[in-house]
Chains A and B, each alone.
Chain A
């Protein structure tokens, strides 16, 4: 059977076996990853997979599976087993029929730029990143390069049959000037043209060099300048908890806040997978619905959650093209820019702390947004508009909604961020947050 025919075949067979609604996807993916540390490659890896995902409903009875692509007879058995499982699965809260197509998709989003996956080429990127960091003064570097090419073919019982290519390049570089002085930066792109591993390495190296000889910071409330890696981590949390499924299950500090002020009036957050050259570009969601530009927060007001057809029915709205068959999610987050450059924003801070990166964000309460996260890599005291000294050993312990409302500046300079700590590709600016709470370990 031709690959293009596999998803429609699954849909037809599942309908014949008694399903009321079916989504079938065939994912082919080729991915390479190079991990490096101590200025050398630690391992070069590849992943080559063909997976079939099937989601079916018999009205309110829902079942899903993901299996490796195999023979037609195996597929038939998978479908028959899944229909049987759906029949004995207790009914879900509601029945939301799959959106009815056919739909038209932006052709620019269906095709992906060609990227080379040749091992020598990929090693070359890593070399550029390491050299960039070392030239800026780093002693050692570590990181990951990921190169992906893939294709998804979808068919649904709602008259959808389409295919979409993917390609992406990403590198994450951490540079060290000592055990406790480091910098981190990234470059991500859908194509080779905008991919810049050397600059990622250089930026990481510059931060590492500036962060030499850190002293222990003091806890307290400070004006904080958060770099793009930090703000991407925070704002991608906002993007993720705008999922209506998470709102419905108590995992969102945005619950019951549609139409309310949740952030400073300068903040606009959009999920926009329709930007054709963006890393997170995508033509259709997991129900085959065309993706669209969704404004989550507009000038500080929460405008919309992200929906699939099931959550949309429950909330009495239209799907936003963000399925996830169980839980909707953002594809490609964009924070609208401010007017000032990084340098202008920095120059206006009399006393504060500049945080370049963070990790390990954990909530005490998802519903209220109480959380903490740990700054890592370069962190600096700001005095009279300039970086005065390197500091370490502080923790950001605050509340998401309080931080969003306390944003005082958003830079026009923005960076695309995605790395180990930030799952959703996010175009993030520098921001200034007033009165941010920093705590510190004792003993």
Chain B
């Protein structure tokens, strides 16, 4: 580290510490300050042609305080000492004003807090790859997709493809001793691709790729090959997929869909702030109650976990925004609700210790209870064995449309790449099979779990203002017995 960088880090530490100390001096019973800087480069490719390169630096400091059991939060991107002081005063005054409508005092649990430095070092720095090479990689990916489609006499009338690379630096300090400095580089791809055939209409596919690390992640994705395969699959769906059957069937779901289900119908309902009603007007509440630990919600084969410590994952972190060390959380154990996701505020209500689930997407966002990498733990079956065990059914590998009610109980997933299963073998493609099912109905119908764990990247939306936060969702293939297939998309 050179002298200039050492100096900058010292100034930031001093400023962050000053914010905590000043808020305490005003009378806050708890104070937490977070300096965060995100520097991001985005390359946008529109229909195979570069649209623009966008560089964003989002940095500033936030101060969160507890005053008489009431929470205040102030953020500023003006980093002069007097601005930070003003923000501390503002947070204090707002918290105090809010005590007028406060019935239950907020407190922070007694978690062990970290004093640590965590840096994810990229093997290949993003800046060592020039913009032209990055853009050329995206163009090549698009070309592979377009050529593959053209060979099938299919057109790509629209395609958006973006590559985001960014580095997040955070300093978290609290009045009760947390002092964590972290540096995390991430890369992500987003695409929405449309395929068109004059007689068969259109089909669309959208997905994210994401991970923690340097340019080596992007290289590993092998985008040209990936887009070639995606175009091949989408062309075949467009040209050959036939109407989906309906009624009671057995079903195999691929990792992409299993991961989403884990996130939506296990991760979100397990968020303790939802259980306490804190998100009621936005992302909603949950079908689980504070006393739902021990409640059976699925078959004994269902083990859903959330683990921020997976190295290289999109949702990776070692310490959360309150300075609590991250750990693996077992949300559903053998089909039974085992643990909720907590920050220090909710843990205090439940009289337990936080399990390190407090996250914020930027300096100007309050830390709230979030998932990191949520997945179904693998079992023993190969994909082939799962399919072999089905006389008549459906295999859904990928999806496009999904949603779930705000109590996280009624959900719908519409398949994109999907096949009929007959006598234990994959048969013809089917179009838009609809799985519309309750959470307990879905998890209870799991009768076999594959051993092929895979992850996908996503941005989880929650909070007000909205905080789209990087996560992985994952799982192996699973088999469901006797579930109802919705059949036609709309008649």
Is A367 positioned at the interface, with any CB of B under 8 Å from its CB? Answer: yes
Is A40 positioned at the interface, with any CB of B under 8 Å from its CB? Answer: yes
Decide: B401 and A92 in contact? CB cutoff 8 A.
no
Decide: B57 and A67 in contact? CB cutoff 8 A.
yes
Is B118 positioned at the interface, with any CB of A under 8 Å from its CB? Answer: no
Q: Which residues of B contact A93 (CB under 8 A)?
A: 46-47, 49, 51
Q: Which residues of A contact B57 (CB under 8 A)?
A: 65-68
Decide: B71 and A44 in contact? CB cutoff 8 A.
yes
Q: Which residues of A contact B382 (CB under 8 A)?
A: none
Is B280 positioned at the interface, with any CB of A under 8 Å from its CB? Answer: yes
| Given contacts A251-B158, A442-B436, A397 and B412 within 8 Å (CB-CB) | yes
The CB with the most chain B CB atoms within 10 A, among A130, A144, A245, A397, is that of: A397
Contact pattern, B 70-84, Cβ under 8 Å of A = 1, otherwise 0: 111111111100010
Nearest CB in chain B: distance from A419 CB, A: 8
Q: How far is the CA of A82 from the CA of B194 in the complex (A)?
A: 32
Closest to A402 in B: B490
Contact pattern, B 391-431, Cβ under 8 Å of A = 1, otherwise 0: 00000000011111111011110100000000000000000
Q: How far is the CA of A140 from the CA of B281 in the complex (A)?
A: 11
Nearest CB in chain B: distance from A400 CB, A: 12
Decide: B98 and A49 in contact? CB cutoff 8 A.
no
Within 8 Å by CB of A89, from B52, B101, B277, lies: B52
Nearest CB in chain B: distance from A342 CB, A: 24
Nearest CB in chain A: distance from B349 CB, A: 11
Q: How far is the CA of A86 from the CA of B131 in the complex (A)?
A: 10
Decide: B410 and A364 in contact? CB cutoff 8 A.
no
Is B85 positioned at the interface, with any CB of A under 8 Å from its CB? Answer: no
Q: Which residues of B contact A65 (CB under 8 A)?
A: 54-57
Q: How far is the CA of A356 from the CA of B159 in the complex (A)?
A: 35
Nearest CB in chain B: distance from A297 CB, A: 22
| Given contacts A36-B101, A44-B97, A249-B47, A63 and B52 within 8 Å (CB-CB) | yes
Contact pattern, A 403-431, Cβ under 8 Å of B = 1, otherwise 0: 00000000000000000100000000000
Decide: B465 and A33 in contact? CB cutoff 8 A.
yes
| Given contacts A42-B71, A364-B414, A376-B406, A142 and B160 within 8 Å (CB-CB) | no
Within 8 Å by CB of A64, from B52, B132, B277, B403, lies: B52
Decide: B53 and A49 in contact? CB cutoff 8 A.
no
Decide: A248 and B204 in contact? CB cutoff 8 A.
no
Interface residue ranges of B464-481 to A (CB < 8 Å) = 464-466
Among the stretches B87-95, B307-315, B332-340, the one at the interface with A is: B87-95
Q: Which residues of B contact A120 (CB under 8 A)?
A: 97, 100
Decide: B60 and A49 in contact? CB cutoff 8 A.
yes
Nearest CB in chain A: distance from B422 CB, A: 23
Closest to A57 in B: B52
Among the stretches B5-13, B21-29, B176-184, B438-446, the one at the interface with A is: B438-446
Decide: B403 and A44 in contact? CB cutoff 8 A.
no
Is B192 positioned at the interface, with any CB of A under 8 Å from its CB? Answer: yes
Is A48 positioned at the interface, with any CB of B under 8 Å from its CB? Answer: yes
Q: How far is the CA of A92 from the CA of B54 in the complex (A)?
A: 13
Decide: A46 and B202 in contact? CB cutoff 8 A.
no
Interface residue ranges of A68-87 to B (CB < 8 Å) = 68-69, 81-82, 85-86
Decide: B202 and A367 in contact? CB cutoff 8 A.
yes
Decide: A144 and B464 in contact? CB cutoff 8 A.
yes
Q: Which residues of B contact A86 (CB under 8 A)?
A: 53
Q: Which residues of A contact B294 (CB under 8 A)?
A: none
Q: Which residues of B contact A44 (CB under 8 A)?
A: 70-73, 94-95, 97-98
Decide: A88 and B100 in contact? CB cutoff 8 A.
no
| Given contacts A41-B102, A172-B281, A398 and B490 within 8 Å (CB-CB) | yes
Closest to A440 in B: B436
Closest to A397 in B: B490
Among the stretches A107-115, A173-181, A223-231, the one at the interface with B is: A173-181
Decide: B202 and A41 in contact? CB cutoff 8 A.
no
- Residues of B in contact (CB 8 Å), total 101
Decide: B132 and A367 in contact? CB cutoff 8 A.
no
Q: Which residues of A contact B55 (CB under 8 A)?
A: 63-65, 81-82, 85
Closest to A62 in B: B52
| Given contacts A85-B55, A120-B97, A33 and B72 within 8 Å (CB-CB) | no
Within 8 Å by CB of A370, from B102, B160, B401, B484, lies: B401
Q: How far is the CA of A304 from the CA of B247 in the complex (A)?
A: 43
Nearest CB in chain B: distance from A440 CB, A: 7
Decide: B403 and A362 in contact? CB cutoff 8 A.
yes
Q: How far is the CA of A402 from the CA of B76 in the complex (A)?
A: 46
Is B271 positioned at the interface, with any CB of A under 8 Å from its CB? Answer: no
Decide: B77 and A50 in contact? CB cutoff 8 A.
yes
Is A16 positioned at the interface, with any CB of B under 8 Å from its CB? Answer: no
Q: Which residues of B contact A179 (CB under 8 A)?
A: 285, 407
Interface residue ranges of A321-341 to B (CB < 8 Å) = 325-326
Within 8 Å by CB of B412, from A63, A248, A441, lies: A441
Decide: B490 and A367 in contact? CB cutoff 8 A.
no
Nearest CB in chain B: distance from A52 CB, A: 10
Q: How far is the CA of A369 from the CA of B131 in the complex (A)?
A: 35
Within 8 Å by CB of A90, from B98, B132, B157, B432, lies: B132
Closest to B135 in A: A90
**Given A40-B102, A65-B56, A66-B58, 12 other A-B contacts at CB below 8 A?**
A40-B101, A43-B71, A47-B75, A48-B78, A90-B50, A91-B50, A144-B282, A248-B158, A249-B158, A367-B194, A368-B201, A441-B438
Top 8 closest A-B pairs, CB basis?
A250-B158, A443-B441, A250-B194, A142-B280, A44-B94, A364-B401, A119-B97, A360-B403
Report 24 cross-chain contacts, Cβ distance below 8 Å, ordered by A residue: A38-B276, A44-B70, A44-B97, A51-B77, A62-B53, A67-B56, A69-B77, A81-B55, A85-B55, A86-B53, A89-B132, A92-B52, A142-B280, A184-B281, A251-B192, A364-B414, A365-B204, A367-B196, A397-B490, A442-B441, A443-B441, A443-B442, A443-B444, A443-B484
- A residues contacting B by CB (< 8 A) are 32-51, 62-69, 81-82, 85-86, 88-93, 119-120, 122-123, 126-127, 130, 140, 142-144, 172-174, 176, 179-180, 184, 245, 248-251, 255, 325-326, 359-368, 370-374, 376, 393, 395, 397-399, 402, 420, 437, 439-443
